[in-house]
Amino acid sequence: MSAAEVEQVTVVETVEQVRREVEAARRNGDRIGLVPTMGAMHEGHLSLIRAARQACDFVAVSIFVNPTQFGPHEDLDRYPRPFEADLRACAEEGVDLVFHPCVETIYPPGSSTIVEVEGLSQILEGKYRPGHFRGVTTVVLKLFNIVAPDVAYFGRKDYQQQLIIRRMCRELCLPMTIETCPTVRESDGLALSSRNVYLNDEERQTALTLSRCLQHACDLIRQGETDLDRVRLQMREQIAAVPEIDLDYTTVADAESLAETNRANGPLVALIAARVGNTRLIDNMLME
Ligand code: AMP
């Protein structure tokens, strides 16, 4: 299939087409930026694209709902896929190339190679979504190998994910850099997520408790609270007071190792994961 022009964005589906487009840009001396996404774009995704647009000459966006990062009872089948709207958004942001592969392109039948960052992939999100990060690192390394970007952009919204990807890049000596962009929120604090479309009005109101809980933890620590166990207890109590929230975890951890430290003076991150109705939400706040 030849590259299709959709509102000035080149959309390609095969590895060979990506290579051709990127190699042409590289011959031009372009700095190549990659923004990996699962589509259903919102301002969070667009903030990554804008960061890439600012720092790079050629911006590639991948849109791929990666089956291997979903658990058997998760929302793979109902994950939103508004492809045409995504393409329009990419065109408006001046994206040069959209890579939209099918599952068989990324996982040829019989594929058996996986990439896993041990340890960091097993805690927090990894504990509640076994195999999730293995799926993420496997697809992200494939995308890096296909596009060969100089820099790839990720959101701090998925805090543990960007830490794991940074570590994978470092330990596998990948010749590229990772940029992490701040979490984009609604004006009331709700972190933007493609899964927010699942929430009804009542659930959306309930979901605000998550960012408020994180904000409260940050405020306590900034005001001088040094007993992090006490902060963690308060976070759990705040969530327990809202019976509509089904908590997986909420904690304050070292911002690099994600260990539950008791040292309040280095960089810390407050994290939360919970279900509101049938929707699983995650959020975090960094204290540098
Ligand atoms: P996804 O399509 O959910 O895989 O997300 C694609 C990228 O967008 C990931 O690097 C996410 O961390 C990032 N992202 C998602 N939501 C936000 C947000 N609210 N603010 C900033 N980045 C985000």
pLDDT tens figures, 179-215: 999 999 999 999 999 999 999 999 999 999 999 999 9
DSSP 8-state class, residue 155 = E
The answer to whether residue 170 scores a pLDDT higher than 50 is yes
**Active-site residue, from 42, 45, 73, 100:** 45
Mean pLDDT of the chain: 96
Residue 6, pLDDT above cutoff 70: no
Please tell me the predicted confidence (pLDDT) of residue 7: 57
Substitution site in 48, 65, 99, 161 for ligand 1 pocket (most atoms within 8 Å of beta carbon): 48
**How confident is the model at residue 8, as a pLDDT?**
81
- d(CA 157, ligand 1 centre) in Å: 6
- pLDDT > 90 in the chain, percent: 95
Give dist(CA 249, CA 227) in Å, integer: 19
Ligand 1 site residues (CB inside 6 A) read 37-38, 44-45, 47-48, 154-155, 157-158, 181, 183-184, 191-194
pLDDT tens digits along 103-119: 999 999 999 999 999 99
Query: Which tens digit of pLDDT belongs to each residue from 66-86?
Result: 999 999 999 999 999 999 999
State in Å: Cα 8 to ligand 1 middle. Answer: 24
Distance 226 CA to ligand 1 centre (A): 31
Residues 3-18 as b/e (b if ≥16 CB within 10 A, e otherwise) read beeeeebbbbbebebb
Token readout for 126 is 């990894």
Quick one: average pLDDT of 55-65?
98
Q: How far is CA 165 from CA 25, 129, 174, 214, in A?
A: 25, 17, 11, 24
Residue 34 confidence (pLDDT) above 80 = yes
45 is catalytic: yes
**What whole-number distance in Å separates Cα of residue 247 and Cα of residue 165?**
26
